Amino acid sequence: MATLIQVRDLLALQGRLEASRMSELLATPRPMIDAMLARLEAMGRVKRVTEDLSGCLSGSCKRCPEGNACQKTFWTLQ
């Protein structure tokens, strides 16, 4: 199981990561990573970054049946 410090250190080393990738690298279940990221965000240590919509292939993400599924959310240090 990873700790808050390990999550923070991983972000410091990698720059930005998706929660799923952090889960893989730290061998920690995704719900635990999500909870730790929420705690670190509340503490003002990390921030959530969403990829802009310019990467959408169809250009119509707002009307897409998948909703915002094509948007990726990354985490980075604040």
pTM of this structure: 0.79
Q: What confidence tens digit (pLDDT) does each residue in 55-73 have?
A: 566 555 566 666 556 678 8
Asked if residue 8 lies in contact with residue 45, where contact means CB atoms within 8 angstroms, the answer is yes
**Residue 39 vs residues 21, 25, 44, 53: alpha-carbon distances, Å:** 18, 19, 9, 27
21: enclosing H helix or E strand: helix 19-26
Strands 46-50 and 16-17, bridge-based pairing: unpaired
pLDDT tens digits for range 14-62: 999 999 999 999 999 999 999 999 999 999 999 999 876 555 665 555 6
Cα–Cα distance measured from residue 2 to residue 26, given in angstroms and rounded to the nearest whole number: 6
Token pair recorded at residue 76 = 């980075």
